[in-house]
Amino acid sequence: MKLTHISSDGRARMVDVSAKPVSRRRAVATGKIRLQHKTLDLISKDQIAKGNVFATARIAGIQAAKQTARLIPLCHTLPLGEIKIDIVTSHEGAEVRCTAQTVAQTGVEMEALVGVTVALLTIYDMCKAVDKEMQIDGVRLIKKTKTALTR
């Protein structure tokens, strides 16, 4: 999907979506962070010095998704109906999933990707004092849908 056009003067600009119909849009992004077993144990016991890691990561991801248009220069500002951050642990670390929903003329893929990325970065930041081997990977969009509104 092409998000920018190069105008005759060579400058990038936002895509004009004003003629597109408003529809219900949903995007889901995911990513993983590898954590040592001792780090997962400290998180589960709420013993990380900076506080509750997963609660903070959820709030950070939601906040970041709401700020996407301010972070990514050519993104449209969207009225977000829902941002949800889910975190599931495994023996290797944690998987973060961000679901973004709106009713608008353009999609919410960037909001979902920004939300998952900032949630992962928050986990990293909060655990960096105890885990020097953390690794973030696999950040990607896994689903997007567009549903016409019925009248």
Q: Is 41 noted as a catalytic residue in this protein?
A: no
Instruction: Name the one residue in this structure whose structure tokens are 């993983």.
Output: 32
Torsion sign over Cα 15, 18, 19, 21: positive
Determine the 3-state secondary structure of 105 from DSSP: coil
Would you state the structure tokens that stand for residue 150, as one six-digit string? Answer: 């019925």
Q: Report the C-alpha gap between 39 and 91 in whole angstroms.
A: 11
Q: Which listed residue (16, 41, 125, 131) is catalytic?
A: 125
Q: Which residues are catalytic?
A: 125
